[in-house]
Amino acid sequence: MNTLANRRAFLRGKVLRQDRSAIRPPGADERGFYDLCEQCDHCVQACPEQIISFDTQGWPVVRFDTSPCTFCGACAQACPTGALNPETVADWPWRAVFASTCLSMNAVTCRVCQDACDAQAIRFTLQPGGRSEPALDPDTCTGCGACAGACPVGAIAFTRPTPSIPEVAE
């Protein structure tokens, strides 16, 4: 295989190993993250909330099960390779989304996520049959994850509005 073919194969491997649904730590620009991250554990160790762990492929991932992110930036500051950029910690693209398993959508009274949200980004709209539909104000939501960690049925996930990983050119 020539040098160009090797490079293409390498890039394909990188893309295949990327998981757009995984929440990388704040400051991760995925266009550079997968090239720069050395899968050390500096960010994992630095997080005072202990919400960074490794996924099955060895990349650091944020999970909100036990605590929200405070956007303190300690993870990015601890990163020795530049895979996490302290200057872009605030550019957090993730926003909460509600699944149909939400208790309130199924006529079981619940406002746990709303109570957990310091930003007051969640509102409920009454529906027929005793149901209530949660809705997010994406401009108010900080993506901190407090709601997801508090939800008793795990009905809150996170998404980002636009793709940030470029396709590999052939």
Q: With b meaning 16 or more CB within 10 Å and e meaning fewer, what string describes 12-41?
A: eeeeeeeeeeebbbbbbebeebbeebeeee
Give the separation between CA 114 and CA 2, rounded to whole angstroms: 56
Give the separation between CA 112 and CA 72, rounded to whole angstroms: 25
Which residue, 13 or 48, is less far from ligand SF4 as judged by CB?
Answer: 48
Interactions with ligand SF4, residue window 77-96 (CB under 6 A)? 89, 96
| 145 lies in the site for ligand SF4, by CB under 6 A | yes
Question: At its nearest, how many Å lie between ligand SF4 and the CB of residue 74?
Answer: 4
| 149 lies in the site for ligand SF4, by CB under 6 A | no
Q: Is the dihedral of CA 10, 11, 13, 19 positive or negative?
A: positive
Number of residues that bind ligand SF4 (CB under 6 A): 43
| 144 lies in the site for ligand SF4, by CB under 6 A | yes
Give the separation between CA 20 and CA 23, rounded to whole angstroms: 8
| 146 lies in the site for ligand SF4, by CB under 6 A | yes
Contacting ligand SF4 (CB under 6 A), which of 90, 107, 153, 165? Answer: 153
Give the separation between CA 144 and CA 113, rounded to whole angstroms: 12
Residues at the interface with ligand SF4 (CB under 6 A):
25-26, 46-47, 49, 51-52, 62, 69-75, 89, 96, 98, 102-104, 110-113, 116-117, 119, 121-122, 134, 136, 141-147, 151, 153, 155-156
